[in-house]
Amino acid sequence: MYQKFWKQFLAEQTLTETRIPGESRSDMSFGFAKTPPADATFQFEPDEDAKSTEPQRDRRGSTGFRAFLKDRGLQYDKRLGGGADGQVYRVFDPESGRAMAVKFIDARATSMETARREVSNYGFVKDNRESFGEYAKYLPVVYKTEMAGVPTASQTMDGTLIVNGVIYMEELEPLPNEVAKSLFAVGFPTDKIRTARAKRDRRLLKNPTLVSSLLNIAWGLTDPSTTAFLLSLEAQVAAEKKILERFFSGDYEDSDIKIDPYVKTNLSKQAIELLALYVNVTYEEMLKNFEEEAHESMIRDYEKTIKTDLMDSFDKSYSKPLVTGAAGRQLRQGSGLRGFDAYFAREKDVEEEFPEIIGVRAAMKKFAGRDFKPFDVHSDNVMMRPGTNDIVIVDLGRFNV
């Protein structure tokens, strides 16, 4: 069944069959730098004979991180990406004949604590990956980690060095967008995210149990100061029943789902219809099922404010990932990392509709059980092992935060 759903996800993708690199060495052949001091910046003075008015990069050639890689016997290829905590480059090791990804965490740009934490976390994976058994495939193969001095952009290895955490690991490839952006938390809506969500909705919004969950998550995210205290439990129960009946029977007119000018453009057509029913029916039931007499006039007077808040709460609920991007820790109600699987004991319901999430969720729980608690797992932090359908969590720096 797992393979069946992967084929469904990847039907429009052409995957390049790439040979998985051979067994990794437990250690790399290239050398270690001297352990840098606690201060993130230090200076090597060149020999008197080497002093010149010319810039060092003109005298010595390679500068910056390229000089560091050359010093390690590695050949730079290209930049693969980066984020708040580091930059990742593709390099080639002539001795092993292997391409790999090297991540630099600049202690000056982030902090010494962040760099050391990343080195510690990736070092843990290097030493313990195989002990996770069947779940090891969800972690990258790490060849080596170190804290080292890396030249600034215009300096050689004899110039100003900045302390970096440096991670050497296997080369991976991007997870198809419709997989990554359907299963995991994402950032600002883009065309790719909207496309992925539309594919997700074909499965999510055909399931009454999951639609019920989406509605209840949305009601739970309404503003306490403007909507939540006016929304009685009776109104929610009545609204849920009516929304589900009308949504799944198609028993509504175009006028029933007109919500301009507030419509959210990052939703699929199905979701827009559900959103409109959610807003209009909820408001109707609030007027019929208020808890105190004074609330009726408040609901009428603040109709626009309440409907706008209902639309915002639906959008927040709709944007929830399927897989919670943390394990072994309690996330706040509105956390963007908190997924459908974490609400209302719906784990099994979500897994039945999306069985491809079972393995990665089980792996995250396994890691947390070993006191290696996943955190900040989102669409930009997951990749795929070439030639396989393996999801790999590649950014481990915020584990245990």
Instruction: Compute the distance between CA of residue 285 and CA of residue 54 in angstroms, rounded to an integer.
Output: 77
Same domain assignment for residues 190 and 288:
yes
Angle (deg, nearest 10), helices 233-249 and 269-288? 140
Same domain assignment for residues 191 and 165:
no
Residue 400 lies in a domain: no
Same domain assignment for residues 32 and 133:
yes
pLDDT at 74: 97
Residue 179 lies in a domain: no
- Pick the last residue of a domain from 288, 319, 350: 319
pLDDT at 82: 82
Q: Which of 7-16, 34-43, 94-103 has the highest mean pLDDT?
A: 94-103
Q: Is the pLDDT of residue 183 over 70?
A: yes
Residue 369 lies in a domain: no
Same domain assignment for residues 200 and 159:
no
Across residues 66-87, what is the average pLDDT? 91
Residue 344 lies in a domain: no
Same domain assignment for residues 152 and 253:
no
- Pick the last residue of a domain from 287, 319, 351: 319
pLDDT at 346: 84
pLDDT at 345: 80
Same domain assignment for residues 96 and 228:
no
Q: What is the CATH number of the domain that holds 135?
A: 3.30.200.20
Same domain assignment for residues 251 and 155:
no
Same domain assignment for residues 261 and 147:
no
The domain of 299 spans 186-319
Residue 75 lies in a domain: yes
Radius of gyration of the chain (CA): 26
Q: What is the mean pLDDT of the chain?
A: 83
Same domain assignment for residues 63 and 148:
yes
Residue 35 lies in a domain: yes
pLDDT at 29: 37
- Which range is least confidently modeled, 188-202, 347-361, 385-399? 188-202
Same domain assignment for residues 206 and 153:
no
Residue 5 lies in a domain: no
Question: What are the start-end ranges of the E strands in 157-247?
Answer: 160-170, 173-174
**pLDDT tens digits along 217-254:** 999 999 999 999 999 999 999 999 999 999 999 876 65
10 vs 166: which has the higher pLDDT: 166
pLDDT at 61: 64
Same domain assignment for residues 106 and 203:
no
- Pick the last residue of a domain from 319, 337, 352: 319
The total number of structural domains that make up the chain: 2
Residue 391 lies in a domain: no
pLDDT at 81: 87
Same domain assignment for residues 149 and 205:
no
pLDDT at 35: 38
